[in-house]
Structure 1
Amino acid sequence: MNSEDYVDDPDPWVIAPAQPIKGRGAVSNIAGRYETRISEAIDDGWSHEEEAVLAPVTHVTYETAKTILSRNQSPDLPFGVSLNPYRGCEHGCIYCFARPTHSYLGLSPGLDFETRLFAKINAAELLRTELAANSYIPNAIALGVNTDAYQPCERKFQLTRAVLEVLHECNHPVGLITKSSVIERDIDLLADMAKKRLAVASITITTLDHTISRTLEPRAASPTRRLETIRRLAQAGIPVSVSVAPIIPFVTDQDMEGILEAAFEAGATSAGYTVLRLPWEVNPLFQQWLEAHFPDRAERVMNRIRDMRGGKDYDSTFGARMHGEGLWADMIRQRFHKALARLDINKSSRFHWLDTSKFRKPLSVPADKKHAHSQLDFFSK
């Protein structure tokens, strides 16, 4: 080849655009922040547009956990103790703040988070042991905060059901938050607990638009189905709140009043909201999702988010991270409170309604744990 036939192109490759994957939220498997090697897909001209992108299969790995209760002192949250029976979440919500936790496992916060799940098969056993400890002080447990305790695999593993059975036995208060109708399976336990002020539930509804919901949170129950879940829980006497979260400017914010009204009609008696949070790897994942599904408004959405975060993509400051700051955040806040006043919905968290005074120790403790507790009792005397 003659030298004049060669054209020096300093950038012969282009980054391949992220493509939506049916039934999944993330459009890529980005590297976690602890990875030492990062790869990017490029378009080398050999691919064909008509080639179908195969949907990744969900894999669930059994995990024998060492502890089951997590404690926090965040002033933004109405609870101090939480329990998550699963790592990762098949619902695939692109905005999920828990996605970065998969980085600790050496996995991607992207597709891995929603396809490579971990089931804590000893969750109920660990809980029973913790509740039996002499030092245990009852505090309302938030069940399914990081990842949905009623995600699809719960139908098979029933870890959440087993945990609730322990809490029911011990008269221990619990608050649940979910986007799934599977919670209706446990109405028998929750209704009995609610009579004693031991159970409340919160249903998250992000949008009333089914088309948006199918890409935003692809494997969660549809908005209409979630409203029916609110109705069934309320009819069973279980206090239900609606969580309008997260509010995404120019994508879901227009639905806020409609969600509150529909939830109120279904039986919700309290409500809360948060604006979109983009910590760590959630930021690039969300922006990829925007470019894949809403390329016409992607820049506009991000600019509005920055308006509520002091010019940044995210601000983790307590007091600001949940609701944002500035003109647009104030406007959302005013809309929310005016809607609540019109509908006569309580804006406070129902967690404060839960009663810890009825707690009693478990009737039994796993045999291999009894010896450990007796040793602790001996040294504490």
Structure 2
Amino acid sequence: MSRAAFLNLKGRGAGSEPRNRFEKWHIDWDAGMLEEMERSDPDHVRPLPRTQIIRDDTRSLITSNRSPDIGFDASLNPYRGCEHGCAYCYARPYHEYLGFNAGLDFETRIMVKPEAPALLEAELASRSWRPQVLACSGVTDAYQPVERHLKITRRCLEVLERCRHPVVIITKNALVIRDLDLLSSLASHQAAAVAVSVTTLDAGLAGLLEPRASRPEARLRAISELAAAGVPVGVSIAPIIPGLNDHEIPAIAEAAAAAGAKFAFSTLVRLPYGVKDIFSDWLDLHRPGEAKKILDRIRAARAGKLNESGFGSRMRGTGAVAEGIQQLFRVSTQRAGLSRADFQFCLSTAAFRRPSGEQLEFEFL
């Protein structure tokens, strides 16, 4: 059994279990072990791992950051880990802080926060809380498959809707349209916006790259339904992967605008820690003839590396390749009539009221 065959798990973006950088010991499958497995059982098929739901009894929900290149200072994450299984996801290494790995664990061991709505309400009720745009989510997808049944994100939106607190949702799952009632109500107070991530219009590529996320056509339909319901909606063309999907930028911008998107933003792929190995394995499995070219193009856009951590450059890259991609994005979105995303400008705290029901006056953001 080849390593590629071993890693090829249907419906999963990562078949490997890379070493947790905080752990001393690690067990891996080497070539000899795989050959022995094939000799002893030629018909052996690696069992598909099931998703495990693990309760997360966190005591707070809203997290803050001081990153000048993100566009928001506070976020809420109803889950940790993400069943979408995107092979490139920069958030995978966060699972290592929990004692898991950034590979299969990230997409099969999902931490859920059942108390999230109550925690959110308590934090918004606090006199120390100053209303501001909340991002949902930063290191997970609030509408990943498990949300369909648990509805933790919906219950958080119910809290935000009662408080008329501004929120921007970033998702690649069409499940977001289930909550049109709440989002429309928030939008009527200038307190909601949605960015739907569209990485590619190629359904086949999307199915391999983002195996459990909605297919591109479903995401475009979600944009249409959000726009029709009066919810400000845009497109996140992210991540842009040089040599794999950068040529699709004009088509994605046009398709999103035709569906009703009004704004757009993008980020360049970055592969921190174990993500570089996970994505490299994905390329070897699904794009073997292009793997080296794609990795070389990423390095060319990131000063010879596969990841950058500096503010600004981590989002857009550096050098001629990165600038060419940025220019293509600017021209494509302008031609499509898409504006630059600025959630601090388009959302407002003016209608915010604490859970007690008290109406407070705040200036527009």
Q: TM-score, normalised by structure 2?
A: 0.93
2:360 counterpart residue number: none
- Match for residue 343 of structure 1 among 315, 327, 336: 336
Matched to 1:47, the amino acid is M
Q: 1:218 to 1:135 in 2, by over 3 A?
A: same
Between the aligned partners of 1:350 and 1:261, the Cα distance in structure 2 is 21
Moved more, 354-363 or 223-232: 354-363
Which residue matches 2:76?
83
In the aligned structure 2, how far is the partner of 1:339 from the partner of 1:16?
40
Q: Which residue of 2 aligns with 1:116?
A: 109
Per-residue Cα deviation, 1:161-202 (whole angstroms, up to 9, x for no partner): 110111111111010010111111110010111111000000
Matches for 1:1-16 after TM superposition, within 5 Å = 16=3
Identify unmatched segments of 5+ residues in structure 2.
358-365
Structure 1 residue identity aligned to 2:36: W
The offset of 1:351, in angstroms, is 3.9
Unaligned runs of 5+ in 1: 1-13, 365-381
How many residues in Structure 1 have an aligned counterpart in Structure 2?
351
Contact kept, 8 Å, 2:163 with 2:355, in 1: the verdict is yes
Write the letter of the residue equivalent to 1:219.
Answer: R
Question: Which amino acid in 2 is paired with 1:176?
Answer: I
The aligned counterpart of 1:368 is none
Q: Which residue of 2 aligns with 1:262?
A: 255
Whether the aligned pair in 2 keeps the contact of 1:230 and 1:240 (CA below 8 Å) is yes
Larger Rg: 1
Report if aligned partners of 1:88, 1:147 keep a CA contact under 8 Å in 2. Answer: yes
Instruction: Name which of structure 1's ranges 44-53 and 243-252 shifts more when overlaid on structure 2.
Output: 44-53
Tell me, yes or no, if the aligned pair for 2:133 and 2:343 is still in contact at 8 Å: no
C-alpha contact (below 8 Å) 2:17/2:28 kept by paired residues:
no
Aligned-partner Cα distance in 1 for 2:344–2:113: 25
Name the stretch that deviates more: 137-146 or 349-358.
349-358
Structure 2 counterpart SS, 1:188: helix
Of 147, 160, 163 in structure 1, the residue corresponding to residue 156 of structure 2 is 163
Work out which of the residue numbers 283, 293, 302 in structure 1 matches 2:276: 283
Alpha-carbon distance between aligned partners in 2 of 1:255 and 1:76, rounded to the nearest angstrom: 24
In 2, Cα distance between equivalents of 1:302 and 1:84: 31
Structure 1 residue corresponding to 2:216, chosen from 201, 204, 223: 223
Q: Which residue of 2 aligns with 1:43?
A: 31
Displacement after TM superposition at 1:15 (Å): 8.7
Tell me, in whole angstroms, the C-alpha distance in 2 between the residues paired with 1:168 and 1:363.
13
Give 1:279 deviation, angstroms.
1.1
State the match for 1:26 in structure 2: 14
The one-letter code sitting in structure 2 at the alignment partner of 1:125 is A
Q: Identity of paired residues, percent? A: 43
Tell me what 2:362 maps to: none
AA aligned to 2:277 is P
- Taking the aligned partners of 1:157 and 1:341, their CA distance within structure 2 comes to 39
For 1:320, the equivalent position in structure 2 comes to 313
Over the aligned positions, Cα root-mean-square deviation in angstroms equals 1.4
